[in-house]
Amino acid sequence: MQNFNVLATGLLFPEGPVALPDGSIAFVEIQRETISRVAPDGTVSVIANVGGGPNGLAIGPEGAYYLCNNGGFLFQTIAGFNRTRAGVHPDYTSGRIERFDPATGELQTLYDRCGDFPLRGPNDLVFDHAGGFYFTDFGKNRARDRDHAGLYYGRADGSMIVEVAYPLTTANGVGLSPDDSVVYVSETETGRLWAFDLEEPGRAKKHPHPSPHGGRLVCGLPGYQRFDSMAVDAYGNICVATLVTGCITVITPGGDVLRQVMLPDPMVTNICFGGADLRTAFITLSGTGQLVSMEWPEPGLRLPYS
């Protein structure tokens, strides 16, 4: 177990941490349905009430917040930890990608479908240096069936969305290699990390059978370990939040597991890097409703617009 600092408690399923220039951390609270913020002094405030199920978060052009909204989750407590459960929120209408302007307070839906196919449960997103962003659509889990998942690419101005890979199984985290040539996707239920080699922004080279969707398999963990969201470090290692085990799993681009950084919560859901040298990791512990920080051996990858 690593030493860590608790920055905030009492959060309602926090996810999507983003380190801001003033030293505060923005994040979403899926169950509270907000974009929230913890200041350097530990004060927690609500930036915006967005409704549905705010999931992934990123800063984009003009300092706007770009948001994956899964449309709403259902929750349960098991062994003292907050968890999601199968089923659809009673107010669910669709999944969507939203843009929130902190200067004006405007919340805008950029995308709620790709072509003829509605988005079901967008989960996580990451911007590239071309001004677009990749995002995963986890789908919805119901009592007796679940949606296929997918990987998509959209322009920040809402003018274009394309499907990059389909179908995936419970696609969750998404991250980019330092040179934007590879997009990584973690699958929750399979515990697998996939790589999609990019020919240009929004278009991946398709690997042949037996790949189910054109990606190449980077790593799969043994036993019952489930992947959530991720961040990439400056050396290209993929740091994946790992459920059940309750840790961050650090994986090289070649698929070797460097280490697992253990934390006291089976619902470790996401990680981002911040601080002056990007050597501070900020991690969401959703089962206990905490945001924590710790020193990290490698610097994180500096993200566009950060």
Asked whether the beta carbons of 133 and 66 are under 8 A apart, the reply is yes
**C-alpha–C-alpha distance, residues 271 and 248, integer Å:** 8
**C-alpha–C-alpha distance, residues 11 and 1, integer Å:** 22
| Closest alpha carbon to 271 in 19, 10, 5, 7 | 19
Secondary structure (3-state) at 62: helix
Token pair 């290692």 in the structure block, residue: 237
Those residues whose C-beta lies under 8 Å from the C-beta of residue 3, and which sit 6 or more positions away, are: 294, 295
Q: Which of 124, 137, 228, 233 is catalytic?
A: 228
Exposure string (b/e) for 105-123, b if CB count within 10 Å is 16 or more? eebeebbbebeeeebbbbb
CB atoms within 10 A of CB 92: 18
Does 172 belong to an annotated binding site? yes
Would you state the structure tokens that stand for residue 48, as one six-digit string? 């915006």
Does 256 belong to an annotated binding site? no
Would you state the structure tokens that stand for residue 239, as one six-digit string? 């740091």
Q: Is 228 a catalytic residue?
A: yes
Does 22 belong to an annotated binding site? no
Token pair 């961050």 in the structure block, residue: 248
For 305, list phi and psi in degrees, rounded to 5. Answer: 70, 5
Provide the annotated binding site for a divalent metal cation.
172, 228
Query: What positions carry a catalytic annotation?
Result: 228
Q: Please enumerate, by residue number, every residue annotated as part of a binding site for substrate.
A: 123
Detail the residues annotated as belonging to a binding site.
Answer: 123, 172, 228
